[in-house]
Each structure stands twice: as structure tokens, then as C-alpha cells.
Amino acid sequence: MAFSSWKDIPAAGDAPAFRVFEGDLEKPALDDRQYRLLELHNGLRAVLVHDQAADKAAASLAVTTGYMLDPDDIPGLAHFCEHMMIKATLFVCLIQGSEKYPSESDYHSFISANGGIRNAVTGPPSTEYWFSISPSALAGGLERLADLHCAPLFTESLTAREVNAVDSEFKRNWQNDARRVLQVNKTLGIPGHPWSKFGTGNYVSLTAAGRRLGEDVSEETVLKETRRRLVEWWKSQYCASRMMLAVIGKESLDELTGLVVPVFSKIANRGLDPRPAFKNDAWGPEHMGTVVFVQTVKDYHAFSLSFQLPDLREHYATKPASFLAHFLGHEGPGSICAYLKKRGWLLDISAGVSGTSRSVQFFKISGRLTLEGYLHYRDVIRTIFGYIALLRAAFPLEPYHFNEVKTMAETRFRFKEKAQPHRNASALAHGLAEPYPPEWLLSGAALYREYDEALVKGILEDFVPERGRIVLEAKAHRPEVVGDDVVWETEKWYGTRYAVKRMDESFLQELGKPSENKELHLPAPNPFIPQDLSVGKIDPAKYPVLIKRTEKSQLWYKKDDQFWVPKAHVKIDIKTPLAYATPRLAMLTRLFVDLVEDALAEVTYDADLAGLSYSVVNQIEGLTVSVGGYSDKIHVLLGTVLDKLRGLQVHPDRLRVLKEKIQREYENFYMGQPSGLSESYATWAFMPTIWTPAEKLLELSLITENDVSRHRDELLSRVFVEALVNGNVTRERAIEILGVAEQSLNYRPLVPSETPRQRSLVLPPASNVISRRQHANPKEVNSSLSYYLQFGEVTDVNLRSTLALIAHILREPCYAILRTEEQLGYVVACAQWSINGTIGLGVKIQSTRAPWFTESRVDVFFERMGDRIAAMPADDLATQKEGLIVKTLERPKNLGEESARFWGHIRSGYYDFVKHEADADAIRALTLAEVIRTYDALVRPSTSEQTRRKLSVHLLSQQLHEEPPAPRPATIVLSEVDKGSNTHMALFKSGLECAPAATPVISAAFGEHAPAFDFYRTSAGSSSDASLAGPGRNHTSFVHGAGTGPGPDTESGGAP
């Protein structure tokens, strides 16, 4: 292939000189965006993307400097620098002689106010800063992003706060098993190798240099030294030539060039190596041919087998290691996975390349084991090496193996859909650091262009036991597995206990022998490879239409009219009251679903490779079956899944394996992140019926294979089916798909009153409820607060829009004040929540401080923000409203996102497909007086004593040794003693009323079937009707509303 050249563009006015790439980028067939590659005079490379249809703009700046470049004596400095960089806007401008941005948190505030999100992440070889934003605010976002990297002045006050922020982040992940195992792996390498570094950092590592100044040095002196070393390191490692920028906007390419070149050309080029790489071996001979036993926090069993890879950066056209992963991670007949599952040893497996192209890379085969698999780990490893020997012996490989991988890669790239802009920008920025020719920026990571069998075989030849490392993970290792001659050690940073043992000679010899396992063989040709990739185009519509309705089912349908991909999504709700009526039935349903997926794993793996996917999920209301992918074969996969669902044969050995898996999962639930747990507990507090993992575990041991078979028959005997077909499928084919479901399930209809409908509990006015319980992990240092305010019903368009605006206004100040300024913890967030037809506002904080203290700070924050909102200038309110409207009207970027949005409206029971449009109109009409009135009535503690409905969950660390203060008058405190206890909360909930269940919002989407829903039209109204009360409606009359859990704006999810 002949590659194009670059053209020099001379300086013009204030715009410095730069270079522009003159060639064309290889693009997906559906990609209608325009691209331009630039190289600024300071060495910074940029890709600009003109997307005329963009309703969100985005930018990502990737720097080829990560924690592998940390100084040896200050682990975590790159991560700390990232924290400091995104807080330094004010100081950049001050030293440039400008006070354009008036506050330290201006970058965050500007992005948030304009409907955007932002983040930064530090990896081993690189650091990334990204944001998405309203298209109209892209210029301001780019200017601020550039200023972050020009000449930040890292202040002493910010240094002290962000050292604590990094330490809080470390403490958040201190009990995370994945991070603990990774650090053990890194410890067991060549001393001083960059790969071995402790990348996160904590207070101890970041202040180590300052503490070496002397025993009696003050904290102030220590932090000054940290700051000095930070500035020194930043100057030595941050450089324009190490930066890659991706920008996506509505502006033309010339306009985007005009936004980027002047501001990013100011970043200094210090002449550093633009793409530093770390390809020297991280392991010496003494680090290979070993078994590493690691003690975990959670109770599970897992293994990994890893091999160092050579430098493969130049082999992007052949991707030899990824091709090998196709075989070693296969899950179909004859695979390692299928054989080990048949023996009852394996739960799941994965194989592939670990690490980025400029870092040390490993080929890693890993999976979760059953207890029997752990006890037979040597047999598991024998099976893997047996398959490797089988693969070696199969060379030269049949051509179809590579051709299938190549064909599906080409098909995926050809029909690649748009993603969220910030994700797209991130991928493009990192792609600029790869060695692809510029023409292949979009396709380089995706396509297999040629087959190099000698290279593939050469890599496979190095997959020998002497060059491998086995890691075995368990909470409590058995003596018969570990042996008596091991020495247990403690990893420095996470305190993880581990032991290393060399593989004995007899085991090495066994692993080197040819395979005699007749059950292993290479994959057969894939019958699911799509053949028909044609797409029919039609005029666009806003929502699906109800095209069929009977006493047994109803079908929503929409032909793809904007993405033009040969794909479809089919979602089927199978509603039955028997799925969740008791803890035993809930446990039986979960087991049934897991057994179905387990039985389908072998048969459907080829479908997965061919771009098809499925899921079967247990819900409180029944089951949800989802199938998605290329429409050519989607009906074949759906039929396979439904036939297995109805005709499942329960095998005792698989039931035993899955019961063990579920038991560990449910027991480990209580060992999870405190903030996640407190959110779950708060959500459950508002649900009339919820069976906790502990309650369901009481039933697990009593269930037999006959129980599951009987439950299958009873569960599916009488149901109501609701389905959505969205994509490249005709109306006639959609009706056929529903017919396949009805025929496969072969059921009788429910009586309408039997159809499960979820509702929320309602707190009475003036509620102040506190639920306290202790975290199950005695070593977890963090406590958590989930603070919920109940607003009202989601059908009240004016109320929900006011809530959305309040949450939008509070989001950034909550982070800036409670996290950055007050240093309460790493996890701090404020968001609206919605579930089962009710809405509210929530704050969560994970902290080493007591939850009653963090709750008191939330109260002060709400008071402080009440004053700020009351004094908000009209221009600021307008900016906040416009930013929220941008978020509200954001369109789905691909068929999957559109299907998920439609399905959310269908499962909610409201079918309000144009809710976002009504919300945007209501937000535009909101006045400051309305916002203040709602805030004072439902949020602000000092003005809402008689109207607020508040519930908070205090999840306490066992290392917290202070007593809570005496509760305020009228406070209800519910304390649960045992980790799984729900006694006091259940008694409290029994006295609460329920909010109304969802009623459909009748619209043109109901088509000819609308008259069947006239009852709802006349008795319940709609979200549009709710807004007729006008902007002056009294929000304190929301007494019939309730809600559960901040987080995604979804009505319900999978059953706990």
C-alpha cells in the first residue's frame, strides 16, 4: 500500500505553523464523518472529526507518560500529577497574566454546567484527560483542556488535599482482589523494572521523599518536598510531543483546526522521546516455571497461566497473539473450556493479551474454578498444555480458521456503529500513539490483513511450562494443594499474603508431553457466520409501534431507520408471578436461569464469535430473554435459546457446580465496596418485596434437580409475553419471531390481575430514617453513607424536570466541596434516582469518617447550596438549563443504545417514548422561583422539616470505634446486627404505604390498539397531562410519591 504524505501549513496571524496529513483514512462503510490529522509545530498530534449530526462534542488528550515512569522513590507520582492537573486551571491563567477562570474547579464546573462529563485516568504507559460537552461549548472546553497542560502551578494547599484524595482512592481499592493479585504479580519480577511499580500511590508513597529529610520534619515540610518533586517530575516527563489529541465536534474541519492549533501549540515541547516503550523482559528465569498462591479477600477460586510476549508492535497487520486467543479462549465443542466444565472444574475462561503495546505484554489464560477445580488445578493446567500441544501439532492450520477470524473482523469494522463521543475520542487519541500508518488510524486495531503462520507458530513455541507462571487464588488455601514446604510472604502495599513454589520436575515433564486427551479438538467451521448483510432503508420514526396484542402477548416493533446496519435486537419479557413470590421461588428461578445459560454455553459460542449475543436474566417480574447482532441469523439463535429454556434437562453435576457458584457469589456480596452495598440497602428499603442474598441462601442447599425441573414447568406454564423487535427486520418477520417465542414456550395466558407490577413504598412527610449495619469485612477501613430524599411521582413532568435541574446544579459543587475541599472521601456523588415510577435526589459518600459525620456535612452542603441557588444570576441559570437540555435530548448513538432506551420505557410500564422531549420543554419553562420553592420544600433541611422525606443508610466499618451521636427528635434509627439481617427494616416497611403502579402514557405508538388502553387515558392521564397544572403547582403535595436508589434513570433491573 502506498501511503500519503504530510503538507506543511505556514503560520498565519496568531495561528502557528503546523502539518496536515493529505491522505484518506480507511473508514467503516457507515461512517459519514470527516477526519483530519494534524501535527503541531511542538510535536503534538491531533485527529479532528467533523460530525454534522453530533449532539455532544468531545475531546481526549492522551499523554505517553504513565506510572511506569514514576521515580523509584515516589510510587504513584504520575497518578498524583493527574489529580493535580485537572484542578489547576486558575493557576495556569494567573501565571499567564489572566484571571479568565475565577475558581480552582473551573474546568469541572464549565464541563458540568454545559451538559458534559469529564474524567482522567493514569495507566502504565500513558495518562488520559477527556471530556464530553454541549457542541456549543466545545471551544471553551478545549481552551481549558489546553490550559491544564501549559504551565500549571501546583499549589501547596492543593498538594495537601490531593495527596489525601489519592490515599482515599487507594483505601477504596485496598480490599479489591484484582488489584491485590496484580500487585503481587508485579512484585514477583525483575527488581527495578518499571512494570513492577505501585501505580496508584498512597499517602505513604507520595510523602516518602519528604519524610526522608529527617525524623523531625513537619507535615508542611514533607508536603513541600512532595510538591517540589512533582513539579520537577512534570517538567521532565510531560511534553507536547508525547501528546495525542482527538476532538469531535459539529464544526467544519477548518473551524476545528482554528480551535485546536492556537491553544494547543502553546504547550511546551521539551524534546523527550515521544513514544517511550518498556519492552524489556519483566521476568527473569527465576520468576517463571512457578506457581504463586495468593490469599484473597473474597471467597472464590481462580487461576491464571501467563507467558511473556515479545515486542509485537510492528505486527498489527497479523495480530498473532490475538489469533492464538481465538483457540485458547474458545468455549465451543472440543475446547479447553468445554472439557473442564464437563469435568465440573471450571466456571468460565478467558484468553488474550494483557498489557498495552508500549508496555510489557503477557498472554494470559485465566478463569474461575469450582472447589473441585481448585483441588485439581494441576489437571486444569495439564489440559491447557495438552491443548497447546494439540494446536502445535495441527500446523499448518486449515485455512478456515484464519479466514473466519479475518471475515468477522472485516464485517465488524464495515458495520461499526458510532459510540458515545468521549469513548470514540479516547480510542482515537490512543490510536495516534500506535505505529499504524496514518491511513489506518481507524482500522489498524480492528483488521487482520494477512496471515503469518511462522510468526504465530513461533509465539506458540514459547508457551512452554518453563516460561509460564501459574497464579492460584483462594481465600483459604488447602494444605494438600499448597504443600508443607512453602513460605508465606506479605506484599508491601496491599498487605496480600502469597507464597511462591517452583513447579517440580515431574510436573514440568508431564506438561511437556503431547496431548492424549481425545475430547480436545480445534474448532469446526462456524455455522453462524452471517451471509445476508443487506439493509432496507425507510423514513425515520421516533419510537416503536405496538403491532400485535392478544391475551397472551404484545409486540413492539421498529424497523431501523437511521443506523442502517444489518443488525437487530430482540427483547422478550416473560412475566409470571411465580418467579419471585418467595425466597425459595426466587432461588429456583435464579438456578434455572443459570442452568439454561450453562447448557447453552457450548452451542452458542460460535454465535458469539459471529457477532450474535444473548442473555437470559431473572427479574422480579419473571424472565427477560435478549438476542442481538446480525439479523441474518438472529432467529436461529433465538430459537436455540427458547428451546433450551423450555426443554432444559437438569443434570445433577451441573446443578452442584452452579449451586456452589451462587453460594460464593451471595456470600461475597456482603464483602463488596461499601458505597455499592449501602446503595443496595437503600434501594431495598423502598421495595415492598425483596429477598436478600442471605434469605435466599437459606433455601439453596434444599433444592434438588427435581425441584428445578418442576419449577421450570410451573414457571413457564402460564405467562404473559411482551416483546420488542428493533432493527433490520421486517414487520412480518417480527411477528414470526413472536410466534416462535409463543410456540417454543407453549404456555397459557395469565389472568390480567396476575401480571406482576412493581411499586414503591412511600415515606410519610417529615421522615428522618437512618438504617445502620456493619460491613462484613473486618479489614475494610471505609464506611459509607447513602442519603436519599424522596420527591414524588415520575408522571409529574414539572416535578421531575425541577428535580433534574436541581441534581444538575448540585452535581459539580457536591464533588468540589465534599470531596475536594472537605476531603470526605474518594467516592462522592450527587444524582437523581428513579425506580418503579418514583423519583428523588441522592448523595453517596464512601469515607474513613463516620457516616453520621458525613451526613452532617451533607446537611451543611444542602444549606450552603440553598443560598447559592437563591442568589443565582439569570445567565448562570440559563447556562445550567441549556446544559441539562443537551443531556436530556441526547440521541442514541447506535442501534443498541436505541433498543435499550425503548426497552426501558416498555419495561417501566409507562411507554412514554417521548418523555425526553416533554422534559426538555419543561426545563426551558422553569423559573428560578420554582427551583427555589422545590429545593426549600424537599431538600434544604432548615426549611423542609415538615415536608422532607429522608432515608439514609449508614454502613459502618468494623474499624470505626466511635459511638453515633444521640438522634435528633423524630428520627427513626433501624440497626441490624447481622450482615444479612433485615428484621428491623422489614418491620418498618410493613407500616408504609405504596405508590401507584405504572400506568401507560397513551400515544400514537399504540397504533390501532390504543382503544384497548382507553381506561388509562381517562383515569390516569399521562406525563403530558401532569404538566397541565402549570409552573405554579405545589410540589409539596407529592404525598403519593416514593423512590429507590440513586443511579441510572431506569425503572427496574434484574432481580437481586
pLDDT band (50, 70, 90) for residue 1017: low
What kind and span of H or E run contains 327? helix 320-328
pLDDT for the residue numbered 103: 57
CB of 889 closer than 8 Å to CB of 415: no
875, with CB counted inside 10 A (0-12, 13-18, 19+), is exposed
CB of 645 closer than 8 Å to CB of 624: no
Average pLDDT of the chain is: 92
DSSP secondary structure letter of residue 943: G
| C-alpha dihedral, 585 to 588 to 593 to 595, nearest 10° | -170
Q: 600 is written with which cell numbers?
A: 447453552
Give whole-number Cα distances, 198 to 180, 279, 659, in Å: 11, 18, 37
pLDDT band (50, 70, 90) for residue 1055: low
CB of 675 closer than 8 Å to CB of 844: yes
Whether residue 933 has pLDDT greater than 50: yes
Mean pLDDT of 245-255: 98
Q: 238 is written with which cell numbers?
A: 510531560
pLDDT digits (tens, 9 = 90+) for 685-705: 999 999 999 999 999 999 999
pLDDT for the residue numbered 1056: 61
The gap from C-alpha 433 to its chain's centroid, in whole angstroms, comes to: 24
pLDDT digits (tens, 9 = 90+) for 951-987: 999 999 999 999 999 988 888 998 887 777 788 999 9
pLDDT band (50, 70, 90) for residue 128: very high
Whether residue 481 has pLDDT greater than 90: yes
pLDDT digits (tens, 9 = 90+) for 300-344: 999 999 999 999 999 999 999 999 999 999 999 999 999 999 999
Q: 911 is written with which cell numbers?
A: 411507554
pLDDT for the residue numbered 961: 93
C-alpha 562/C-alpha 560 separation (Å) is 6
pLDDT band (50, 70, 90) for residue 1016: low
* CA angle (617, 620, 623) in 5-degree steps: 35
What percent of the chain shows pLDDT beyond 90?
A: 87
pLDDT band (50, 70, 90) for residue 877: very high
Per the annotation, the verdict on 82 as an active-site residue is yes
Whether residue 411 has pLDDT greater than 90: yes
pLDDT digits (tens, 9 = 90+) for 14-60: 889 999 999 999 999 999 999 999 999 999 999 999 999 999 999 99
Mean pLDDT of 60-89: 93
| C-alpha dihedral, 669 to 675 to 678 to 683, nearest 10° | -90
Alpha helices (runs of H) in 501-571, residue ranges in sequence order: 505-511
Q: What is the CA radius of gyration of the chain?
A: 29
Whether residue 1013 has pLDDT greater than 90: no
Residue type, 32: D
Q: 177 is written with which cell numbers?
A: 482482589
Whether residue 1034 has pLDDT greater than 80: no
Q: How many CB atoms lie within 10 A of CB 815?
A: 18
pLDDT band (50, 70, 90) for residue 2: low
* CA angle (17, 22, 25) in 5-degree steps: 125
Mean pLDDT of 414-435: 96
Q: Which residue has the higher pLDDT, 759 or 151?
A: 759
What kind and span of H or E run contains 683? helix 674-685
pLDDT band (50, 70, 90) for residue 1029: very low
First-last CA distance in the chain: 54
CA atoms within 13 A on the CB side of 427: 13
pLDDT for the residue numbered 3: 58
pLDDT for the residue numbered 1021: 39
C-alpha 1029/C-alpha 1023 separation (Å) is 11
Judged by phi (left if over 0) then psi (alpha if -120 to 50, else beta), residue 476 lies in: beta
pLDDT digits (tens, 9 = 90+) for 888-902: 999 999 999 999 999
pLDDT band (50, 70, 90) for residue 1052: very low
pLDDT digits (tens, 9 = 90+) for 832-852: 998 888 899 999 999 999 999
Q: 692 is written with which cell numbers?
A: 436478600
Nearest of 76, 268, 44, 49 to residue 170 by alpha carbon: 76
pLDDT for the residue numbered 860: 98
pLDDT for the residue numbered 104: 62
| Order of strands across the sheet that contains 346-354 | 346-354, 362-369, 301-308, 468-474, 290-295, 497-502, 488-490
Whether residue 102 has pLDDT greater than 80: no
The residues, ordered by sequence, that sit 6+ positions from 618 with a Cβ below 8 Å of its Cβ are 579, 580, 586, 589, 590, 592, 593, 1054, 1055
Whether residue 1027 has pLDDT greater than 50: no
pLDDT digits (tens, 9 = 90+) for 507-535: 999 999 988 899 999 999 999 999 999 99
Q: Which residue of the set 82, 491, 602, 822 is catalytic?
A: 82
Whether residue 262 has pLDDT greater than 50: yes
The gap from C-alpha 715 to its chain's centroid, in whole angstroms, comes to: 32
